[in-house]
Amino acid sequence: KQEVTQIPAALSVPEGENLVLNCSFTDSAIYNLQWFRQDPGKGLTSLLLIQSSQREQTSGRLNASLDKSSGRSTLYIAASQPGDSATYLCAVYNQGGKLIFGQGTELSVKP
Amino acid sequence: DTGVSQDPRHKITKRGQNVTFRCDPISEHNRLYWYRQTLGQGPEFLTYFQNEAQLEKSRLLSDRFSAERPKGSFSTLEIQRTEQGDSAMYLCASSEWTSGSGELFFGEGSRLTVL
């Protein structure tokens, strides 16, 4: 059974700092991996989708990497801003197309 | 088409009442998924459909829960005899699995509060 773990559960950083969020999964036979952002009480906003054949994806200040063999992904946020404060969710697609989520990392960026 | 839409966005009900949520997927998508998210947790898979066929149901989907997608378009999720533990955000997503990337696109969710 696929399990997705995100570390840390919560993170507080000062504005301008670069940071890394970690995600690990137990079964390396994944289809794709996706990072989402969720603001309090809101739905999910897709940030980056990494296909299983890719090693990384970039969008603006965000960079996500994928190492299937070790069962790990990282989300790198450069020059963090207070507006980045949210919960970040990592999720993996199994071969059947179902998405399995981690519990999220709650990020707070202090001005 | 503007994406996945869910209705209602927020439902408050008393314990023991029945509630129904509706999800309208992106029109060309053949798969539709339901997830449940409780406070501080990641979304948990409930069930999914490919066209009108319900292909998988989680153990989380007790016999009080029923989901349908009668014509392979919109879907409903009904909860009978609601309990306080049913309070959660119910998320719907759709994807094009056969000819597309299989990426899931999520709606804004329906928040259920059971008093």
Chain segment A80-94, per-residue pLDDT in tens: 999 999 999 999 998
Instruction: Report the residue from A31, A43, A49 with minimal CB separation from B106.
Output: A43
The whole-angstrom distance between B64's CA and the closest CA on chain A is: 23
* Residue B75 clears pLDDT 70, i.e. is over it: yes
Percent of chain B with pLDDT over 90: 83
Q: Do A44 and B106 touch (CB under 8 A)?
A: yes
Q: How many CB atoms lie within 10 A of CB A20?
A: 11
The whole-angstrom distance between A40's CA and the closest CA on chain B is: 10
Chain segment A22-75, per-residue pLDDT in tens: 999 999 888 899 999 999 989 999 999 998 889 999 999 999 999 999 999 999
What whole-number distance in Å separates Cα of residue B18 and Cα of residue B34? 18
What whole-number distance in Å separates Cα of residue B102 and Cα of residue B42? 20
Chain segment B36-70, per-residue pLDDT in tens: 999 999 999 999 999 999 999 999 888 999 999 99
Q: Residue holding tokens 């966005």? A: B9
Instruction: Report the residue from A6, A32, A101 with minimal CB separation from B43.
Output: A101
Chain segment B24-43, per-residue pLDDT in tens: 999 989 999 999 999 999 99
The token pair at B103 is 């990426």
Q: Provide, as residue numbers in chain A, all residues whose Cβ is less than 8 Å from the Cβ of B101.
A: 32, 49, 51
Query: Mean of the per-residue pLDDT values for chain B?
Result: 94
Residue of B nearest to A94 (CA): B102
Q: Is residue B105 within 8 Å of B93, Cβ to Cβ?
A: yes
What confidence score (pLDDT) does residue B60 get?
84
Short-list A74, A105, A46, A6, CA closest to B95:
A46
Is the CB of A55 inside 8 Å of chain B's CB atoms? no
Name the A residues in 64-103 with CB < 8 Å from any B CB: 89, 91, 93, 97-103
The whole-angstrom distance between A60's CA and the closest CA on chain B is: 21
Q: Do B102 and A93 touch (CB under 8 A)?
A: yes
Is the CB of A43 inside 8 Å of chain B's CB atoms? yes
Per-residue confidence band for B1, with pLDDT thresholds at 50, 70 and 90: low
